[in-house]
Amino acid sequence: MFDTRCDIAATPAESITLLDLQRMVRATLESRFVAPLWISAEVSELKLNRSGHCYLNLVEKGTNDGAPRAEARAMIWRSAYTTIAAKFAAATGATLAAGIGILVRVVVTYHEVYGFSLQIVDIDPSYTLGEVERRRRQTIAQLHDDGVWDMNHELRLPRPALRIAVISSRTAAGYQDFMNELRRTPYRFAVTLVESLMQGDTAEVSIIAALDYVAAHEEEFDVVAIIRGGGSTSDLALFDSYRIASHVAQFPLPIVTGIGHDKDVSVADMVAHTMCKTPTAVATLLVELADAEISTIESLAQQLRDSVVARIGSERLRLERSTSELARSSAVMLNGWRLGLDNAEQRIHDEARSMIRRADERLAAVESIVESSSPKKILRLGFAIVRGADGRRVNMDAVAKGDSLSIEVAEGTIEGVVTQKRKN
């Protein structure tokens, strides 16, 4: 612990002026902090003066609510700023800016008018790189804890994906490369640019606003492409932001990223449906999806043609077999029917002859009966047929005395007149 005791009289009679107090504070600080110190903090504000001096506001935030726990003004004089800024840019690929964590060597100063401040005389860029990695790891862990890490991965990427929402800056070289790659293809992609800042203090808010717009019109799009050209490690650390990564992970449409850095993979890349190294690679992926769909359709069409040809051949063979079988069966049936007709004809002839024979037999029997009952035979037995004058047969009641009669006997006819009749 630092010794904070100060033996100063505290009675009204022994009062001192404000200037005296400020000088005492200054002397105490300068005597206590003789050598420069290394401190870590976050840059909350940074302003480069036209004179070349750099003025910063440093802050240390709470771990839970993010509220400042400590805050101090700092400056880098023009004589040191060029060296410090160049050292930081060479190591990190970025410039000093608000929102980054730094480890700096400071001289504690105190001015009677301007108060407490820190003069930065050196910087350790490796701390900033480590801070970026720490935040990145924290973002990854939080996304896993939220249970959203794989949500965008699990969406189905349409094939082909022709309606594309692009989140980028209109003037970005990466966007131009993306569009040029699509224009070289025969496909009619419908590209809607949702403009967004892709670097700077307000880039996070801008990108999230662009994602929210696309989400509100999701039925108009098949896929979302987030594209950005290359940049420094610090610039690209924007895509390790928890807010951006969380939006990407939970987005209702598949997201393809082409943030344009070959070495590192951002957290947004990790949770997006598909990661590509560059904006051009994103366009190539979309073209390949369309190519794959065309190939699939052509393959299916060829399979259909082959299937139809095979089916026609099979049906033709089946028809030929059926025709042959029909001809054979028809011949067999015809022969069967012909044999049946022959048999039927023979049966008819046989039956007819049998019927004729039976009829002849019956006729002979009838003739025998008729012959046995014929008048001639009866007449030969001694009977006679008596007819009247009109030639009709008569009986006892039909004749009277004096009627002429014709009596037929076996040998001839006897003509006579009734002289008398007697009943038996």
Residue keyed to tokens 């060829």: 302
Q: What is the pLDDT of residue 272?
A: 96
pLDDT in tens, 327-350: 888 888 888 888 888 888 888 888
Going by their DSSP bridges, the two strands 255-258 and 274-276 should be labelled as: parallel
What is the tens place of the pLDDT at every residue in 111-136? 999 899 999 999 998 887 777 777 88
Query: DSSP code of 393?
Result: B
Q: Show the domain range for 408.
A: 376-417
pLDDT value at position 233?
60
Mind giving me the DSSP string for 298-341?
HHHHHHHHHHHHHHHHHHHHHHHHHHHHHHHHHHHHHHHHHHHH
Does residue 239 belong to any structural domain of this protein?
Answer: yes
* Whether 227 contacts 200, CB under 8 Å: no
Number of domains in the chain: 3
Domain harbouring 61, CATH code = 2.40.50.140
Q: Choose one of 244, 270, 289: the last residue of a domain.
A: 289
Q: Write down the pLDDT at residue 6.
A: 58
**Contact assessment for residue 283 and residue 260, using Cβ atoms and an 8 Å cutoff:** no
pLDDT of residue 120: 95
Residue 349 placed within a domain: no
Residue with tokens 């095979």: 310
Query: What is the model's pLDDT at position 364?
Result: 83
The residue among 190, 191, 201, 139 whose CA lies nearest residue 167 is 191
252, exposed or middle or buried, with CB in 10 Å at 0-12, 13-18, 19+?
Answer: middle
Q: Is residue 235 part of a domain?
A: yes
What pLDDT is recorded for position 1? 41
In a domain, 271, yes or no: yes
Tokens representing 338? 């012909």
Q: What is the pLDDT of residue 2?
A: 45
> How many of the other CB atoms lie within 10 Å of CB of 119?
16
Question: Which residues of the chain register pLDDT less than 70?
Answer: 1-10, 63-66, 230-235, 261-264
Question: How many Cα atoms sit within 13 Å of 138 on the Cβ side?
Answer: 11
| Residue 358 falls inside a structural domain | no
104 and 21 assigned to the same domain: yes
8 Å CB contact between 94 and 132 = no
Q: Quick one: tokens of 387?
A: 């007819």
Final residue in a domain of this structure, among 236, 262, 289 = 289
Q: Amino acid letter at 140?
A: I
The total of other beta-carbon atoms located within 10 Å of residue 243's CB is: 12
One-letter amino acid of 290: A
What secondary structure does DSSP assign to 346-391, as a single string?
Answer: HHHHHHHHHHHHHHHHHHHHHHHHHHHT-HHHHHHTT--EEE-TTS
